[in-house]
């Protein structure tokens, strides 16, 4: 897919930026505040968070390439419906793969795999980037944004599982190091969806303290 | 006193800019102004300063809470010995209460102040006294059986996420003490509600008692204590909230010194009564049939209305807004309490909810006033 007819190297500074920018400076969740819904819903445990993150990376990467390849053929007036069709097909594919190979996780994610279709990050990137850029940069952009979304999900999932259930990937860490025997109890708040907001809020706080230029003026 | 003053003056240069403990300036400043009236003068802007600064205001509130705290200490002991065989003499009861309550107070203060000092250092602020009040409120709204590490965790949560994130004292949206309680309520429900927590117990005899609210929610309104018992507070409950009588003493102190807003207190009580009477009219279940004035002395209603709802930072600022804010706190508090037995302490949720709403109320009150005056201005000019 790497059509590099131009002289630009594969990982030029511009392309690297496409990957690195969404990690912190233009993170879909903490800066653009998109995709919050799934970040609240499926991050109770680490495993579903990880699977969700990977699914979104795959779907975004592929859909960005497809739309980018089709970008000159799609009539502008029906572009949204074409994008939706592409995403929906990919989501169905992903869902089938998950059900076949990761049935338990797929059960936990339930409707939220299907709802990747409505994840505004994907539509946003297709509309803003892929429909006016070449396939390779579009691919990087898709992967970058999905990874920016994914790492937040994984961090939130890690803390919620650790403090809410005392486990990491289902392994009872707190029990093994003997926290319960000295009177520790799992924090019920971390299992509730608002806990994800607290964790995301803390990530936002840390990010803006380190990058003051991100602080919005009002 | 003079020797202390001289000593402080002697070590002061070390904490000024360029001194060797420059980083600890705000800690030093905090202690100096705590001990002596600051000698700073205003250099620009308004030159009139009220003798009531934040330290005095906060000290007044702490003073107002003392009757409730002292009674709470006694009541913790009283409730404990009531379930054991014999009732010992007064000082044994108080001693037992002290052993249970004092650690909670100490943990709350140490955790909270440590975090406040830490943030004051890294931000270069003065240390604020806001936590003097929150640090006392937090133990008063907790059950005596709460494990100490939970107190510390909740205090840290309330101070960091309830206050420092928004910029420290005076910038918080929510009442920090209630944030701490809400955190514990959702994080460790088994320790905060239900019928197993309210009496400090020995490991040997695991006898416990339900609060009147828990009884009412369970539909046993026959076993409720009578009005005067609940009014004077001889009932199980959180440390400081049981005695409505002594909370009224605190309220008088607050009202007399002008620190608490009578508008909020009055309208909150009216709101609670209104909702209680509405429920009496409806009377669909036993909880609804509880007389409205009983609702006011049960649970944390009085405590919340007097000490939490009147928090000047998180309450509404406008006069009209205060009426609306207070009324809705009372109204919603009873509504949540009766409609959702899973959340017996509705007043906590009602106050937090209205804290969030208060900027909105203020906005509309101010807009209405602007509109009103614009209309008048147009009439005059026409």
B356 part of contact set with chain A, CB < 8 Å: no
Listed as ranges, residues in chain B with pLDDT below 50 are 201-208
Residue from the list B147, B161, B189 with its beta carbon closest to the beta carbon of A188? B189
| B356 or A180: which leads in pLDDT | B356
Q: Check if the beta carbon of residue B123 is closer than 8 Å to that of residue B101.
A: no
Q: Nearest CA of chain A to the CA of B165: how many Å?
A: 8
A190–B187: do the CB atoms touch at under 8 Å?
yes
B7 part of contact set with chain A, CB < 8 Å: no
State pTM to two decimals: 0.81
Q: Nearest CA of chain A to the CA of B261: how many Å?
A: 31
* A145, part of any domain: yes
**Alpha carbon separation from A36 to A40, A43, A152 (Å, rounded):** 6, 11, 10
Domain ranges of chain B: 2-35, 54-370
The pLDDT assigned to B286 comes to 72
- A 10 A CB-CB count for A16 gives 13
Residues 128-157 of B with CB under 8 A from A: 147, 149-150
The pLDDT assigned to B326 comes to 92
| A187 or B23: which leads in pLDDT | A187
Render pLDDT for B61-101 as a digit per residue (tens, 0 to 9): 888 888 888 888 888 888 877 776 677 788 888 888 888 88
Residues 165-194 of A with CB under 8 A from B: 183-185, 187-190, 192
Render pLDDT for A2-30 as a digit per residue (tens, 0 to 9): 444 556 677 777 777 887 888 777 888 88
The number of C-alpha atoms within 13 Å of B79 and in the hemisphere containing its C-beta is 29
The pLDDT assigned to B204 comes to 38
**How far is Cα A58 from Cα B15, in angstroms, rounded to an integer?**
57
Task: Supply the range of the domain harboring residue A94.
Answer: 49-211
A183–B187: do the CB atoms touch at under 8 Å?
no
Residues 160-219 of B with CB under 8 A from A: 161, 165, 183, 186-189
In chain A, the number of structural domains is 1
| A137 or A214: which leads in pLDDT | A137
Render pLDDT for A67-120 as a digit per residue (tens, 0 to 9): 999 888 888 888 889 888 999 999 999 888 888 888 888 887 877 888 888 888
Nearest CA in chain B to A164: B187
* A33, part of any domain: no
Q: Nearest CA of chain B to the CA of A140: how many Å?
A: 35
* A3, part of any domain: no
Nearest to A119 by CA among A76, A60, A160: A60
* A90, part of any domain: yes
The pLDDT assigned to B207 comes to 42
Nearest CA in chain B to A191: B187
Q: Nearest CA of chain A to the CA of B183: how many Å?
A: 7
B119 part of contact set with chain A, CB < 8 Å: no
* A167, part of any domain: yes
Contacts of A185 in chain B (CB under 8 A): 150, 188
Q: Nearest CA of chain B to the CA of A94: how many Å?
A: 35
Contacts of B188 in chain A (CB under 8 A): 185, 187-188
Render pLDDT for A122-176 as a digit per residue (tens, 0 to 9): 888 888 888 888 888 899 888 888 888 889 999 999 988 888 888 888 788 777 7
* A182, part of any domain: yes
The pLDDT assigned to B199 comes to 57
Residue A40 has pLDDT above 70, yes or no: yes
> Tell me, what's the ipTM?
0.78
The pLDDT assigned to A106 comes to 84
């Amino acid at each position: 897919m790497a059509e590099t007819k131009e002289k630009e190297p594969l990982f030029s500074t511009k392309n690297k930026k496409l990957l690195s920018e969404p990690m912190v400076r233009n993170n879909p969740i903490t800066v653009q505040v998109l995709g919050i819904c799934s970040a609240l819903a499926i991050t109770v445990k680490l495993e579903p968070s990880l699977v969700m993150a990977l699914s979104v990376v795959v779907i975004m990467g592929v859909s960005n390439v497809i739309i980018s390849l089709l970008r000159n053929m799609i009539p502008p007036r029906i572009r949204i419906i074409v994008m939706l069709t592409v995403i929906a097909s990919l989501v169905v594919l992903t869902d089938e793969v998950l059900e076949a190979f990761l049935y338990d996780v797929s059960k936990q994610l339930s409707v939220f795999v299907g709802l990747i279709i409505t994840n505004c990050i994907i539509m946003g990137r297709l509309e803003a980037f892929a429909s006016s850029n070449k396939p390779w940069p579009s691919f990087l952009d898709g992967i970058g944004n999905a990874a920016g979304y994914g790492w937040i999900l994984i961090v939130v999932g890690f803390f919620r599982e650790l403090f809410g259930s005392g486990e990491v990937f289902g392994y009872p860490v707190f029990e093994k190091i003997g926290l319960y025997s000295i009177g520790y109890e799992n924090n019920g708040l971390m299992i509730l969806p608002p806990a994800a907001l607290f964790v995301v809020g803390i990530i936002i706080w840390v990010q803006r303290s380190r990058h003051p230029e991100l602080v919005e003026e009002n | 006193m003079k020797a202390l003053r001289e000593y402080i003056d002697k070590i002061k240069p070390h904490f000024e800019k360029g001194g060797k403990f420059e980083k600890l300036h705000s800690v030093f400043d905090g202690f100096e102004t705590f001990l002596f009236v600051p000698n700073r003068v205003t250099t620009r802007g308004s030159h009139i300063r009220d003798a009531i600064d934040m330290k005095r205001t906060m000290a007044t509130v702490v003073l107002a809470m003392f009757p409730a705290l002292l009674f709470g200490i006694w009541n913790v002991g009283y409730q404990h010995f009531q379930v054991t065989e014999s009732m010992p003499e007064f000082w044994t009861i108080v001693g037992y209460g002290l052993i249970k309550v004092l650690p909670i107070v100490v943990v709350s203060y140490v955790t909270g102040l440590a975090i406040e000092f830490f943030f004051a250092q890294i931000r270069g602020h003065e240390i604020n006294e806001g936590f003097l009040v929150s640090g006392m409120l937090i133990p008063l709204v907790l059950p005596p059986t709460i494990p100490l590490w939970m107190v510390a965790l909740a205090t840290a949560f309330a101070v960091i996420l309830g206050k420092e994130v928004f910029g420290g004292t005076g910038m918080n949206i929510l009442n920090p003490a209630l944030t701490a309680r809400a955190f514990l309520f959702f994080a460790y429900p088994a320790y905060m509600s239900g019928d197993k927590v309210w009496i400090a117990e020995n490991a040997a005899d695991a006898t416990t008692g339900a609060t009147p609210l828990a009884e009412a929610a369970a539909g046993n309104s026959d076993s409720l204590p009578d009005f005067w018992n609940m009014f004077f507070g001889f009932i199980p409950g959180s440390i400081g909230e049981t005695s409505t009588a002594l909370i009224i003493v605190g309220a008088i102190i607050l009202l007399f010194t002008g620190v608490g807003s009578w508008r909020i207190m009055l309208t909150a009580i009216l709101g609670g009564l209104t909702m209680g009477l509405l429920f009496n009219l409806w009377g669909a279940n036993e909880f609804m049939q509880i007389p409205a004035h009983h609702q006011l002395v049960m649970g944390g209603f009085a405590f919340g209305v007097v000490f939490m709802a009147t928090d000047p930072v998180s309450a509404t600022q406008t006069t009209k807004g205060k009426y609306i804010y207070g009324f809705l706190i009372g109204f919603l508090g009873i509504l949540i309490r009766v409609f959702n037995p899973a959340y017996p302490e509705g007043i906590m949720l009602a106050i937090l909810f209205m804290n969030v709403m208060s900027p909105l109320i203020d906005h509309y009150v101010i807009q209405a006033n602007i509109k009103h005056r614009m209309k008048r201005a147009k009439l005059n000019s026409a």
